[in-house]
Amino acid sequence: MDKKDQNTEQNILNAAKKVFQLKGMDGARMQEIANEAGINKALLHYYFRSKQMLFDAVFKAAFEMIAPQLNEILNDESSIEDKIKNFTYNYISFIIQHPYLPNFIIQEINRNPEFILQMKENPGFPNLKKFKNQINDEVKAGQIKPIKAEQLFINILSLNVFPFIGKPLIEAIGDIDDNQFKLLIEERKTHVANFIINSIKV
């Protein structure tokens, strides 16, 4: 594996990422990925044997970008309030840089739920254990209102992730353009945390 090899491989991955995230597994075409990478279609199969394997590599890379973000709120040591503030701010900032990521991951997990089971094997896969303990403790200590950790987690995830997935719907119903949407998202970096904390603070 010389430099050129690495370049080509990364080049293919970048092109594949672009096309897969835009069109999904079913909508993507190997020819389009080859064009995007500026290479021959056969070379795709030389580096990644099949469309499925190329897709798997792209999906895995995408998921490995998201997983640490989630672990930030699940496994960090600070108080729940601080965590919510940090997480919403960091997550929204991060997704602004990678706007296709959430929809891509959610879409493909739904298309083939067995994907996520493979990811689950990975040691870095997010899990709710620590978060559950923390919420239960803080509820017991009277620091926040009674709430089930699972529901709170779903709420945090929903409020942060959905706006990016539902963007075209939100823009249509709110009758706003991309720029106004961008401003709303910018606002949400702090709004979401305040909204959640308002709801659970004693």
Partner DNA sequence: ACTTTTGTTAACCAAATGGTTAAACTATTT
Partner DNA sequence: AAATAGTTTAACCATTTGGTTAACAAAAGT
Residues lying near DNA in the complex (CB under 7 A): 1-2, 4-5, 8, 28-31, 39-43, 45-46, 49-52
| Site track for a second copy across 157-176, x = CB under 8 A | xxx-xxx-xxxxxx-xxxxx
Q: Which is nearer to a second copy, 21 or 48 (CB)?
A: 21
Q: Which does 65 bind (CB under 5 to 8 A by kind): DNA, a second copy, none?
A: none
Residue/partner pairs of 193-198 with CB below 8 Å, 24 or more apart: 193/84, 193/85, 193/87, 193/88, 193/89, 195/159, 196/84, 196/88, 196/152, 196/155, 196/156, 196/159, 197/81, 197/84, 197/85
Report yes or no: 173 and 80 within 8 Å, Cβ to Cβ: no
- If one asks whether residue 143 binds a second copy (CB under 8 A), the answer comes out as no
The nearest distance, CB 15 to DNA, in angstroms, is: 12
- If one asks whether residue 111 binds a second copy (CB under 8 A), the answer comes out as yes
Q: Which residue has the tokens 């990364």?
A: 10
Q: Which does 71 bind (CB under 5 to 8 A by kind): DNA, a second copy, none?
A: none
Q: Out of 18, 81, 98, 125, which residue is the one contacting a second copy (CB under 8 A)?
A: 125
Q: Which is nearer to a second copy, 47 or 135 (CB)?
A: 135
Site for a second copy in 42-71 (CB under 8 A): 70
The nearest distance, CB 9 to a second copy, in angstroms, is: 27
Q: Which is nearer to a second copy, 47 or 163 (CB)?
A: 163
* Side chain identity, residue 178: D
Binding site for a second copy (CB under 8 A): 23-27, 70, 74, 103, 105-107, 109-111, 113, 116-117, 119-120, 125-128, 145, 147-148, 150-151, 153-155, 157-159, 161-163, 165-170, 172-176, 184, 187-188, 191-192, 195-196, 198-200
